[in-house]
């Protein structure tokens, strides 16, 4: 069963089948079954994975023989957590849409996007990576623009063109790299071994970095993000924030660091300043938000700012922290966006001034909300703590002052998140709401997230030991 | 050669069928004839190509591959014509016959080895088109387009002839092989020859419709009947590019220091003019016309950085572009039949009324925009790769900016189909007139080919050796 291609095939096949399912009831169960099959199929890979630095379960075929392009996939310690995160979150996202009446085409797009995301996380060839990168963008564009709200057409066109422009710059860099070296190839190994001159690495850095920074998004390339997150359907926001932005961070680790180390060295201060500005700026804006969804969107900018800073810090702790924090952030934003969706569905509003006192009426939600929130804030014994701790350690090793300012994220995060909780769940009860507590699929989704929030908080080594050897190896591999 | 003779006979045969009022037989006979011509083309594949008839034409793999592409695209377009021509004119046989004659000219341009044949080929191709563009005799726009096209065509032919004359004056030959010898062996290339190259360049740029010689394109494409537009923007454009590329790759490579800067300027102007104008259009047909200008700019990259990869990349690009254009124009015909307009608004809500049509058109637009997993991406990748091989990054970044701009207008129609609802007169129609079977076949074949070539481009690339 160690055929990695199966993991790509299952979502593609399920996407094709789901295209033809008109009945909403059948479609959601079919999509759930397919996504559960997918996570089931991922388990053997986790069991068979040996946590050393090697790339495992490799598969490669010649794709375009005359251009020397390979279809090459494989998993190492850095990609495995993200593959598992993707396959783990998709069933939750599908399950969270059970209350809606989406037809097969919605779930088909979700499945297709899953395939694209997996391709990005598994790719060991630049061409394969780029194909996955774009293949993930098309479905999410349709999901957000078809089922979104607000000024969905304009907002999503901006999102699409912005990110597409970034990826074109990456394509320019890839085409450039393809033409270097003796044999034309986009294999990861070949590209890393290129040893480009320093001046070349500097612009290669920007071409890749812009593509990734727009996707993540890092301040000041974040302008598409709040609108897109806010007006996307709940499942779309979860896909965007939970999984898709990890593509960018993963790209930084997998492609940017080893290919353009001199570029990173030359500009890490600039990037670090951008990340730190992003952390504080987004946190302050999040504090002023009345719209809960927008609040979490801005909080996401702050969190990924810290993650990117950890990557750029170029220390083992920073990179390890980035990997575990990607998993943590994926879990917590999916939980938070789902809770916001539940609140909006029950009360008809996600505006903080309309909410309040819901804890009495929805005790189960209140309890789970609190745990997930604590995870997002980074309280010890929840998953967020270890991630933020490692990231700040990496930042500290890089430069004390960045760590000091970046560390504000812990305080500011607690401030805006607790304000969110307080305004939504506590305070005087709004009598006009007649709301029922969460049940059925809602409990299931949140319970899984709560479980992993606590599990990874207590035993973060579950993720860290997978990636440790690969991260060390990556840092050793980078040559000057 | 068999293909060209077949097509000539086919054209005359179609005229006789029209004379005897056998209108039902026109399409099948035309398709069978095209199939035979395709067979002749492919059967010559493995023979050693040498210039035939005193060096007039040469059927090398380069000519054969593009001839096959032109024939296949013509067949797809003719398949769409079944009911289309009957509605706009009673002279159906003339339609078929003129398209076949134009195709014959295109094949000659693909295979010329002597300037005389280039001129004859371009004229056969164009004269048939002058009539086709104006075939809706009572329609003002169609007449205007025909007149414009004729004047501009005559004008550019003039340039071409002047260029040929000057080059002949300097070298004393029309033959491409002899020209190459002249350029490589002469101690000093005569200034007359340089003048000739420039004039040829202008003439050919007129024919392929790149800026600043593009002003006829939007009006002519807009005024002509949709099927003729699709024929012009695919077969005729591809053939003109092939002629362009053949001249420069066979004879003029040693002079590249002279013409590359000129062509480079033209490419950059074309990309920006084509894209910027396409952004502003409110009519789908006009948008396609301007987008064809910007695609011509991308295809010119292959000539600017002439090399061994030029032919495969222009072939892949042209195939992707032709398939996407056929889908786009077929969809436009169906939409226009229902709404009577070719504005973007008439596509509103198409996804609900005709989901498969909307899906096929989406694939075509993504391919034109160059999104991975469609044939258009492979074409774009190869073009970018060509440029990177010999030029600097700045040019590529300019191309990338243009590609990002292009996404806006290609997605415009997708936005209309999927995210907007039909208003006004068409709001009541929940279903569209079902597409005739021939449209389904063409749309299906073209869409599937676009995806297949996008996923597995080696199908085409093996033609040129790995």
Q: What average pLDDT does this structure show over B66-90? A: 86
Burial A62-77 (b: 16+ CB within 10 A, else e): ebbebbbbbbbbbbbb
Q: Could you tell me which of A388, A358, A391, A362 has the C-alpha nearest to residue A375?
A: A388
**Does pLDDT of A133 surpass 90?**
yes
Dihedral, B314, B52, B259, B384 alpha carbons, nearest 10: 10
| B415: chain A residues, CB-CB within 8 Å | 145, 153, 157
Q: Are A66 and B465 in contact (CB under 8 A)?
A: yes
- Kindly state the average pLDDT of the residues A215-237: 91
Q: B104-120: per-residue pLDDT in tens?
A: 999 999 999 999 999 99
Q: Which two tokens stand for residue A336?
A: 């938070």
The yes-or-no verdict on residue B423 having pLDDT over 70 is no
Contacts of B312 in chain A (CB under 8 A): 66
CA distance A446 to chain B (A): 32
Nearest-Cα distance to chain A for B115, in Å, is 33
| Nearest-CB residue to B403 (from A133, A142, A168) | A168
pLDDT band at B379, cuts 50/70/90? Answer: very high
Flag if B418 and A142 touch (Cβ within 8 Å): yes
CB A461 within 8 A of CB A70: no
Query: What's the rounded mean pLDDT across residues B305-329?
Result: 90
pLDDT at residue number A241: 92
Mutation target among A69, A161, A167, A172 for the B interface, most CBs of B within 10 A: A172
Contacts with B377 from chain A: Cβ below 8 Å = 134
Decide: A35 and A91 in contact? Cβ < 8 Å: yes
Averaged pLDDT of chain B: 88
- Residues in A closer than 8 angstroms to B381, CB to CB, are 127, 171, 175
Is A206 an 8 Å CB contact of chain B? no
Least confident of A55-64, A350-359, B30-39: A350-359
Q: How far is CA B339 from its chain centroid? A: 27
Mean pLDDT of A406-412: 87
Taking each helix axis from N to C end, the angle separating A461-477 and A316-347, rounded to the nearest 10 degrees, works out to: 130
* Top-confidence residue, B38 or A2: B38
Chain A contact probe: residue of B372, B377, B460 with most A CBs at under 10 A: B372
- Given this model, what pLDDT does residue B57 score? 86
Share of chain B above pLDDT 70, in %: 96
Please judge whether A172 and B408 are an interchain contact, meaning their C-beta atoms are less than 8 angstroms apart.
no
3-state secondary structure of A431: coil
List, in order, residues 6 or more apart from B87 with CB less than 8 Å away: none
Which residues, in sequence order, are CB contacts of A439 under 8 Å at separation 6+? Answer: none
What is the model's pLDDT at position B349?
84
pLDDT category, B391, cuts 50, 70, 90?
low
When pLDDT is averaged across residues A446-463 and rounded to a whole number, the result is: 91
What's the domain count of chain B? 1
Q: What pLDDT digit, counting tens, does each position of A48-107 carry?
A: 888 888 888 888 888 888 888 889 999 988 999 999 999 999 999 999 988 888 888 899
Residue with tokens 């492609």: A255
| pLDDT score for A113 | 94
What residue spans of A61-220 are helical by DSSP H? 79-96, 104-122, 126-147, 152-178, 188-192, 198-215
A and B: number of Cβ contacts within 8 A: 86
Q: Is the pLDDT assigned to residue B466 strictly greater than 50?
A: no
pLDDT, one tens digit per residue, over A7-59 is 999 999 999 999 888 888 888 899 999 999 999 999 988 888 888 888 888 88
Contact A157 B378 (CB under 8 A): no
Chain B interface includes A205 (CB < 8 A)? no
Is the distance from CB of A251 to CB of A209 less than 8 angstroms?
Answer: no
B interface test, pick of A67, A105, A159, A161 with most B CB neighbours within 10 Å: A67
A231 at interface of B, judged by CB pairs closer than 8 A: no
**Predicted confidence (pLDDT) per residue in B252-302, tens digit:** 888 888 888 888 899 999 999 999 999 888 999 999 999 999 999 999 888
Q: Flag whether pLDDT at B365 surpasses 90.
A: yes
User: Nearest Cα to B360, choosing from B271, B443, B425?
Assistant: B443
Inter-chain contact A134–B457, Cβ cutoff 8 Å?
no
Residue appearing with tokens 């997996």: A118
> Minimal Cα distance from A142: which residue of B?
B418
Residues of B in contact with A157 (CB under 8 A): 408, 411, 415
Instruction: Give the residue carrying structure tokens 């000519």.
Output: B63
Instruction: Provide the phi-psi class of B363: left if phi over 0, else alpha when psi is between -120 and 50, else beta.
Output: alpha
pLDDT at A428 (0 to 100): 77
Pick among B271, B384, B390, B409 to test the A interface (most A CBs inside 10 A): B384
Percent of chain B with pLDDT over 90: 44
DSSP-derived 3-state class of residue A470:
helix
Q: How far is CA A143 from CA A237, A480, B462, in A?
A: 10, 44, 38
Tens digits of residue pLDDT in A368-389: 999 999 999 888 888 888 889 9
A9 touches chain B (CB under 8 A): no
Supply the pLDDT for residue B290: 92
Let me know how long chain A is: 480
CA-to-CA distance for A92 and A110, rounded, in angstroms? 12
Q: How confident is the model at residue A131 (pLDDT cuts 50, 70, 90)?
A: very high
A138: chain B residues, CB-CB within 8 Å:
366, 371
Query: How high is the pLDDT of residue B95?
Result: 86
Which burial class, exposed, middle or buried, applies to B168 when counting CB atoms under 10 A from its CB (0-12, 13-18, 19+)?
middle
- The region, left, alpha or beta by phi > 0 then psi within -120 to 50, assigned to residue A431 is alpha
Q: Give the range of the structural domain holding residue B191, as residue numbers without chain letter.
A: 2-464
From chain B, the residues in CB contact with A160 under 8 A are 407, 411
pLDDT tens-digit map of A275-324: 999 999 999 999 988 899 999 999 999 999 999 999 998 888 899 999 99
């Amino acid at each position: 069963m160690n055929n990695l291609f199966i993991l790509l095939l299952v979502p593609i096949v399920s996407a094709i089948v789901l295209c033809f399912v008109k009945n909403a009831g059948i479609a959601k169960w079919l999509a759930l079954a397919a996504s559960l099959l997918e996570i089931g199929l991922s388990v053997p890979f986790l069991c068979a994975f040996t946590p050393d630095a090697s790339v495992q379960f490799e598969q490669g075929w010649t794709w375009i023989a005359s251009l020397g392009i390979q279809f090459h996939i494989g998993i190492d310690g850095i990609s495995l957590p993200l593959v598992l995160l993707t396959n783990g979150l998709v069933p939750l996202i599908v399950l969270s849409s059970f209350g809606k009446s989406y037809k097969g085409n919605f779930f088909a797009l979700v499945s297709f996007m899953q395939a694209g995301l997996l391709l990005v996380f598994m790719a060991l060839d630049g061409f394969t990576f780029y194909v996955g990168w774009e293949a993930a963008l098309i479905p999410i564009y349709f999901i957000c623009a078809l089922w979104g709200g607000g000024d969905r057409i304009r907002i999503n066109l901006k999102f699409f063109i912005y990110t597409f422009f970034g990826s074109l710059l990456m394509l320019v860099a890839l085409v450039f790299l393809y033409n270097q070296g003796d044999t034309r190839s986009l294999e990861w190994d070949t590209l890393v071994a290129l040893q480009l001159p320093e001046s070349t690495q500097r612009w290669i850095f920007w071409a890749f970095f812009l593509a990734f920074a727009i996707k993540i998004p890092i301040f000041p390339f974040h302008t598409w993000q709040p609108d897109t997150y806010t007006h996307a359907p709940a499942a779309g926001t979860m896909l965007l924030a939970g999984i898709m932005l990890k593509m960018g961070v993963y790209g930084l680790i997998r492609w940017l660091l080893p290919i353009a180390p001199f570029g990173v060295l030359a500009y890490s201060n600039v990037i670090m300043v951008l990340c730190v500005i992003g952390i504080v700026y987004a946190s302050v804006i999040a504090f002023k938000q009345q719209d809960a969804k927008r609040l979490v969107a801005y909080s996401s900018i702050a969190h990924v700012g810290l993650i990117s800073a950890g990557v750029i810090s170029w220390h083992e702790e920073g990179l390890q922290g980035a990997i575990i924090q990607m998993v943590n952030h994926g879990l917590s934003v999916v939980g938070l966006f789902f809770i916001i969706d539940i609140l909006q569905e029950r009360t008809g509003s996600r505006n903080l001034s309309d909410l309040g006192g819901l804890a009495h009426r929805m005790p189960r939600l209140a309890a789970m909300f609190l745990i997930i929130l604590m995870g997002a804030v980074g309280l010890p014994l929840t998953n967020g703590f270890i991630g933020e701790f490692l990231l700040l350690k990496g930042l500290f090793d890089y430069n004390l002052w960045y760590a000091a300012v970046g560390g504000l994220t812990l305080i500011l995060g607690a401030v805006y998140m607790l304000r969110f909780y307080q305004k939504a769940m506590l305070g005087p009860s709004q009598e006009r709401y007649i709301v029922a507590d969460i049940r059925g699929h809602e409990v299931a989704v949140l319970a899984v997230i709560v479980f992993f929030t606590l599990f990874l908080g207590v035993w973060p080594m579950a993720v860290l030991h997978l990636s440790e050897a690969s991260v060390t190896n990556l840092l050793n591999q980078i040559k000057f | 050669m068999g293909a060209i003779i077949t097509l000539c006979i086919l054209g005359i045969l179609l005229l006789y069928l029209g004379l005897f009022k056998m209108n039902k037989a026109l399409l099948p006979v035309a398709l069978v004839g095209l199939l035979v011509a395709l067979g002749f083309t492919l059967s010559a594949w493995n023979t050693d190509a040498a210039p035939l008839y005193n060096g007039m034409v040469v059927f090398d793999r380069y000519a054969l591959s593009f001839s096959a592409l032109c024939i296949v695209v013509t067949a797809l377009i003719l398949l769409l014509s079944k009911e289309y021509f009957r509605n706009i004119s009673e002279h159906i046989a003339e339609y078929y016959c003129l398209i076949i004659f134009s195709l014959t000219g295109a094949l000659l341009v693909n295979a010329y080895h002597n300037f005389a044949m280039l001129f004859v080929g371009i004229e056969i191709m164009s004269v048939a088109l002058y009539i086709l563009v104006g075939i809706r005799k009572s329609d003002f726009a169609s007449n205007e387009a025909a007149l414009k096209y004729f004047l501009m065509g005559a004008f550019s032919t003039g340039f071409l002839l002047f260029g040929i004359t000057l080059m002949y004056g300097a070298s004393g030959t029309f033959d491409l092989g002899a020209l190459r010898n002249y350029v490589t062996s002469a101690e000093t290339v005569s200034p007359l020859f340089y003048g000739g190259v420039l004039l040829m360049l202008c003439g050919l740029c007129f024919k392929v419709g790149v800026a600043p010689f593009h002003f006829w394109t939007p009006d002519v494409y807009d005024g002509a009947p949709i099927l003729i537009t699709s024929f012009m923007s695919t077969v005729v454009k591809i053939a003109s590019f092939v002629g362009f590329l053949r001249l420069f790759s066979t004879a003029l490579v040693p002079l590249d220091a002279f013409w590359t800067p000129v062509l480079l300027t033209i490419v950059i102007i074309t990309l920006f003019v084509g894209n910027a104008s396409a952004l502003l259009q409110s009519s789908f047909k006009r948008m396609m016309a301007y987008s064809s200008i910007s695609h011509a700019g991308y295809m010119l990259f292959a000539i600017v950085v002439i090399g061994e990869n030029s032919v495969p990349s222009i072939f892949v690009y042209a195939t992707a572009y032709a398939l996407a254009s056929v889908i786009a124009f077929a969809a436009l015909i169906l939409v226009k039949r229902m709404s009577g307009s070719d504005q973007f608004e008439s596509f509103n809500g198409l996804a609900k009324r005709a989901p498969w049509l909307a899906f096929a058109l989406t694939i075509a637009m993504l391919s034109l925009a160059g999104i991975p997993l469609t044939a258009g991406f492979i074409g774009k990748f190869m073009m970018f790769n060509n440029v990177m091989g010999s030029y600097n990054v700045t040019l590529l970044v300019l191309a990338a900016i243009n590609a990002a701009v292009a996404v806006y207008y290609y997605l415009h129609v997708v936005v209309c189909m999927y995210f907007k609802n039909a208003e006004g007169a068409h709001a009541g129609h929940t279903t569209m007139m079902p597409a005739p079977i021939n449209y389904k076949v063409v749309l299906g074949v073209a869409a599937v080919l676009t995806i297949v070539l996008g996923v597995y481009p080696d199908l085409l690339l093996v033609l040129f050796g790995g």
